[in-house]
Every structure is written in C-alpha cells, then in structure tokens.
C-alpha cells in the first residue's frame, strides 16, 4: 500500500476551495435555469440574504464587536472584521457622500472568483458575486439597519477594481439601535 510520503490535506484550503467551487457550480446552474442576468442576480442576492440573516449571529458571537455609533464604524467592521473572518480579505473602505451614509468597499482580492477567468458569453450583466451583496444586506437587516448593497464596479466586467456600494437607508438612531444577540 502506498502510505509513505503522503501528507495530510490542508483542511482550511479544502474548506475554502469547497465553498468557492460550490458557489461556482451554483452560479453555473442558475445561468442554465434563467436566461436573464437580472434573474440570476436576483436569486444570488436572495440566497445571500438568507445566508446573511443567519451568518450575522455567528459573526456577533465570535467577533464580540462593541456597539457602533455611526455608519462609518459599521462599514469598517464589515470590511476589517467580517470579511477577514469569513473570506480572509480586508477590503478598503471609502465614504462616497457628505451625509456619510454611502460607502464603498474596494476588494483588491476576491476569493470567490479565484477559478473564474471571465464571464460566460452573453452574460455581460451578470454580477457573479452578488451573493456577497445579499449577505451584507441580510446581516444588516438583522441588526435593524436597512441598506442597499450593490456592485458598483466589477473586475470580471472589465472594471479596474471590484467595488461594493453600501447605502444605509435609514438614519441611525442611537437610542433605538441595539446589538442583536
């Protein structure tokens, strides 16, 4: 039997690959099921929303983040804690308006597209990583924050960077905000 010199697999790498590959299979299946890119984007967002509503509980339990007092703080936590914890990347954050309720997450690296060279032909409007937008939106909603989350730029579409825009829809009321337990 061949036993010598065979090393154990790296579990974290396999976990990461499994998630990325499964996500790719899912997007491929949705592209087969739906002709319009808008429908695929919609379902990816919807699924991400479902994931986000559950993931936020795990995140809050594991990260033990304190109470946030501004949208800027919340966005920083999403970028520096949540993305780091689950995807191993730290997007940079920028504020897009003077009201300080519109922010951008710039992703230098995106593990979800590791095995994607380009979008399929005829799928120029596909937001391949739209699951991430749904996850952020679902997670924020579970802590009583309504937000629009969309891809503003996408390297897969030929843009120079991948940018996720978060627009907080309701003014944060410090008295009403409670960290979801």
Partner 1 sequence: MADALLFEFLLTEMVAELWPQDPDPARGGRKMNLSVLEGMGCHVGQALGERLPQEMLAFREELDALKFLCKDLWVAVFQKQMDSLCPSHQWSLSMASGLQYLDEAPKFLAFTCGGPRGTLSTLGIESLVTASVAALCACKFQAVIQKSQGPLGHPQLSLTTASGPHPLQVNSRCFGPETLATAFGGGLRARAGHRMLKKWV
SS3 at position 107: strand
- The helices-and-strands tally (H runs, E runs) of the chain is 5, 4
Residue among 40 and 71 whose Cβ is closer to partner 1: 40
Residue among 5 and 171 whose Cβ is closer to partner 1: 5
Tokens of 59: 């995140």
CB of 82 to partner 1, least distance (A): 10
138 vs 44: CA distance, rounded Å: 12
42 in contact with partner 1 (CB under 8 A): no
Options 11-19, 70-78, 98-106, 153-161: segment touching partner 1 (CB under 8 A):
11-19
User: Whose CA is closest to 105, among 64, 58, 150?
Assistant: 150
Per-residue string for binding with partner 1, 91-130, x by CB under 8 A? --------------------x---x---------------
Rounded to 5°, angle at Cα 143 from 135 and 49 = 20
Q: Which of 38, 50, 70, 179 binds partner 1 (CB under 8 A)?
A: 50
């Amino acid at each position: 039997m061949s036993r010598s010199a065979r090393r154990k697999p790296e579990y974290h790498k396999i976990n990461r690959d499994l998630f990325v590959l499964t996500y790719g299979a899912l997007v491929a299946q949705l592209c087969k099921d739906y002709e319009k890119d808008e429908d695929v984007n919609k379902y990816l967002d919807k699924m991400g929303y479902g994931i986000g509503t559950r993931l936020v509980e795990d995140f809050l339990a594991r990260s033990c983040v304190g109470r946030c007092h501004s949208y800027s703080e919340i966005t920083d936590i999403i970028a520096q804690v949540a993305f780091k914890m689950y995807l191993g990347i730290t997007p940079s954050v920028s504020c897009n308006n003077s009201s300080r309720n519109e922010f951008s997450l710039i992703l230098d690296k995106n593990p979800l597209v590791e095995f994607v060279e380009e979008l399929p032909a005829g799928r120029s409007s596909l937001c391949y990583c739209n699951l991430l937008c749904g996850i952020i939106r679902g997670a924020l909603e579970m802590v009583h924050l309504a937000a629009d989350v969309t891809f503003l730029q996408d390297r897969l579409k030929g843009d120079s960077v991948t940018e996720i825009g978060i627009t907080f829809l309701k003014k944060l009321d410090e008295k009403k905000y409670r960290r979801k337990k």
